[in-house]
Amino acid sequence: MRGFTVAAALAALANGATAHRAHRHAHDLFEKRGFNDTGVCMNECKTYYTTIYGEPTLVPEKPAPASSTAVTPVAVPATTSAPVVPPKTTGPPNVPTPIQELCPTPGTYTFPAKTLTLTETTTVCGAQVTKVPSGTHTMGGVTTVVTTATTVVCPVATAEPLPNGDVTSIIKMTTYVCPTAGTYTIGPHTTTVTKEKEILVPTVTVYPPGTYTAPQVVTTVTETSVVVVCPFTSPAPAPPAAPTTAAAPAPPAPTQEAPKPAETPKQQQPEQSKPQPSTPATSPNPPKLGGGNQWAMTYTPYGPGGFCKDAAAVDADIKQIKDGGFNSIRVYSTDCDTLPNVGAACKKYGVKMIIGVFVGAPGCDNGNPHVADQIATIEKWGMWDLVEMAVVGNEALFNGFCTPDQLVTLITKVKTMLRSHGCNAPVTTTDTVSGWQAPGVAEKVCGAIDVVGANIHAYFNGNVQPLDAGAFVKSQMQIVESLCGGKAGYIMESGWPSAGKCIQNSCPGKDAQATAIKSIQGAVGGQTVFFSFTDDDWKAPGECNCERSWGCGSLFV
User: Helix (H, G, I), strand (E, B), or coil: what is residue 321?
Assistant: helix
Residue scoring higher pLDDT (430 or 96) = 430
User: Helix (H, G, I), strand (E, B), or coil: what is residue 347?
Assistant: helix
Residue range 463-477: mean pLDDT, rounded: 97
| Cis previous bond, 506, omega within 30 | no
Q: Is 450 inside a domain boundary?
A: yes
Contact call for residues 491 and 529 (beta carbons, < 8 A): yes
The strand pairing partners of 387, in sequence order, are 353
Among 94-98, 258-262, 296-300, 305-309, the least confident range: 258-262
Mean pLDDT, rounded, of the chain: 74
Q: Would you call 493 a catalytic residue per the annotation?
A: yes
Residue 221 belongs to domain spanning: 31-230
Last residue of a domain, one of 209, 230, 251: 230
Q: For residue 51, is pLDDT > 60?
A: no
Residues 112 and 222 in one domain: yes
Got the DSSP string for 136-185? EEEE--EEEEESSSEEEEEEEEEEEE-TTS-EEEEEEEEEEEE-SSEEEE
Q: Which pLDDT value is given to residue 187?
A: 64
**CA 551 and chain centroid, separation:** 19
Confidence of residue 22 (pLDDT cuts 50, 70, 90): very low
Q: For residue 145, is pLDDT > 50?
A: yes
Residues 387 and 530 in one domain: yes
Q: For residue 464, is pLDDT > 90?
A: yes
Q: Is 8 inside a domain boundary?
A: no
H/E stretch holding 109: strand 107-111
Give the active site residue among 31, 101, 388, 395.
Answer: 395
Q: Would you call 395 a catalytic residue per the annotation?
A: yes
Residues 226 and 304 in one domain: no
User: Helix (H, G, I), strand (E, B), or coil: what is residue 276?
Assistant: coil
Closest by Cα among 123, 140, 100, 142 to 205: 123
Q: Is 202 inside a domain boundary?
A: yes
Helix axes 510-524, 469-483, angle to 10 degrees: 50
Compute the half-sphere exposure of residue 492: CA atoms within 13 Å on the CB side of its CA. 30
Q: For residue 220, is pLDDT > 50?
A: yes
User: Helix (H, G, I), strand (E, B), or coil: what is residue 192?
Assistant: strand
**CA 369 and chain centroid, separation:** 16
Per-residue pLDDT of 111-138, as tens digits, reads 787 787 877 667 665 555 566 677 776 6
- Alpha-carbon distances of 388 from 105, 166, 332, 371, rounded to whole Å: 53, 52, 14, 21
- Alpha-carbon distances of 100 from 85, 263, 455, 552, rounded to whole Å: 17, 18, 31, 40
Gap between the Cα atoms of 267 and 440, Å rounded = 12
Residue range 273-283: mean pLDDT, rounded: 45
Q: Is 136 inside a domain boundary?
A: yes
* Residues in Cβ contact with 211 at an 8 Å cutoff, skipping those fewer than 6 apart: 115, 116, 117, 118, 235, 236
Q: For residue 319, is pLDDT > 80?
A: yes
Last residue of a domain, one of 206, 230, 254: 230
H/E stretch holding 272: none
Gap between the Cα atoms of 261 and 239, Å rounded = 32
Residues 161 and 309 in one domain: no
Got the DSSP string for 396-428? TTTTTS--HHHHHHHHHHHHHHHHHTT----EE
Q: For residue 552, is pLDDT > 90?
A: yes
Contact call for residues 216 and 499 (beta carbons, < 8 A): no
For residue 302, the 8-state DSSP code is: B
Q: For residue 25, is pLDDT > 50?
A: no
Q: Is 169 inside a domain boundary?
A: yes
Residue range 275-289: mean pLDDT, rounded: 52
Q: Which pLDDT value is given to residue 130?
A: 61
Last residue of a domain, one of 210, 230, 250: 230
* Residues in Cβ contact with 66 at an 8 Å cutoff, skipping those fewer than 6 apart: 37, 38, 39, 174, 175, 176
Gap between the Cα atoms of 264 and 367, Å rounded = 28
Give the active site residue among 257, 388, 493, 543.
Answer: 493
Confidence of residue 212 (pLDDT cuts 50, 70, 90): confident
Q: Is 272 inside a domain boundary?
A: no
Residues 226 and 91 in one domain: yes
Q: Which pLDDT value is given to residue 383?
A: 98
Residue scoring higher pLDDT (96 or 297) = 297
Residue range 95-101: mean pLDDT, rounded: 71
Confidence of residue 204 (pLDDT cuts 50, 70, 90): low
φ/ψ of 457, rounded to 5, equals: -125, 110
Number of domains in the chain: 2
Among 230-239, 383-392, 520-529, the least confident range: 230-239
Q: CATH number, domain at 416?
A: 3.20.20.80
Residues 378 and 492 in one domain: yes
Q: For residue 534, is pLDDT > 70?
A: yes
Q: For residue 384, is pLDDT > 70?
A: yes
Residue scoring higher pLDDT (536 or 106) = 536
Q: Is 507 inside a domain boundary?
A: no
Compute the half-sphere exposure of residue 142: CA atoms within 13 Å on the CB side of its CA. 29
Q: Is 517 inside a domain boundary?
A: no
319-324: long-range pairs with CB below 8 Å, 24+: 319/345, 319/349, 320/553, 320/557, 321/297, 321/351, 321/533, 321/553, 322/349, 322/350, 322/351, 323/557, 324/294, 324/297, 324/553, 324/556, 324/557
Q: Which pLDDT value is given to residue 57?
A: 37
Residues 317 and 223 in one domain: no
Residue range 101-110: mean pLDDT, rounded: 79
Q: Which pLDDT value is given to residue 136?
A: 74
Instruction: Tell me if the pTM is above 0.85.
Output: no
Beta-carbon count within 10 A of 371 CB:
28
Residues 217 and 353 in one domain: no
Contact call for residues 230 and 361 (beta carbons, < 8 A): no
User: Helix (H, G, I), strand (E, B), or coil: what is residue 476?
Assistant: helix
Residue scoring higher pLDDT (510 or 259) = 510
Among 181-190, 202-211, 244-253, 506-515, the least confident range: 244-253
- Alpha-carbon distances of 414 from 376, 391, 425, 440, 530, rounded to whole Å: 10, 9, 11, 22, 25
Q: For residue 183, is pLDDT > 80?
A: no
Compute the half-sphere exposure of residue 174: CA atoms within 13 Å on the CB side of its CA. 28
User: Helix (H, G, I), strand (E, B), or coil: what is residue 371?
Assistant: helix
* Residues in Cβ contact with 372 at an 8 Å cutoff, skipping those fewer than 6 apart: 246, 366
User: Helix (H, G, I), strand (E, B), or coil: what is residue 203?
Assistant: strand
Residue range 492-496: mean pLDDT, rounded: 98
Length of the chain: 557
Q: Vertex 357, ends 472 and 34: CA angle to 5°?
A: 105
Residues 87 and 211 in one domain: yes
